[in-house]
């Protein structure tokens, strides 16, 4: 068995998932609304920054968290942005599950 060939099969399988197809569809719609697209990009950037701080074991800045929450509320009012974010979250959950499974296998190999 060639692990690289299997990875290519996994990538193909990911492209065939409902979650992948829905986020691709939502991304296409989002590209038609540049304001929403820019706000979503800003939101995801802020979210990543906060998650990085939390990953480092620190408490994120309250102002930054409030700013992100307000932006999320605004994005929920835009149907295109809201649809994209919902699909983004579902896709990330699937990727998280796959990452955990892969991580468990790696942990098994090194421990």
Q: C-alpha distances in angstroms, 82 versus 31, 68, 75, 76?
A: 13, 15, 6, 5
HSE (side-chain half, CA atoms, 13 Å) at 94 = 17
Q: Buried (b) or exposed (e) across 66-88, using 16+ Cβ within 10 A?
A: eebeebbeebeebebbbbbbebb
Write out residues in the chain with pLDDT < 70, as ranges: none
**Whole-model pTM?**
0.86
Q: What is the pLDDT of residues 10-41, one digit of tens each?
A: 999 999 999 999 999 999 999 999 999 999 99
pLDDT at 1: 81
> Of 1.20.1500.10, 3.40.50.150, 3.30.1490.190, 3.40.50.300, which CATH number belongs to 3-110?
1.20.1500.10
DSSP 59: P
Nearest residue to 80 (alpha-carbon basis) of 44, 45, 29: 29
């Amino acid at each position: 068995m060639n692990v690289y060939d299997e990875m290519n099969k996994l990538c193909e399988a990911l492209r065939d998932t409902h979650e992948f197809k829905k986020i691709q569809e939502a991304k296409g719609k989002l590209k038609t609304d540049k304001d929403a697209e820019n706000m979503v990009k800003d939101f995801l950037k802020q979210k990543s920054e906060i998650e990085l701080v939390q990953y480092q074991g620190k408490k994120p800045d309250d102002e930054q968290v409030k700013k992100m929450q307000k932006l999320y509320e605004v994005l929920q009012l835009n149907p295109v942005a809201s649809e994209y974010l919902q699909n983004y979250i579902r896709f990330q959950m699937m990727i998280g599950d796959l990452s955990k499974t892969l991580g468990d296998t790696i942990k098994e190999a090194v421990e």
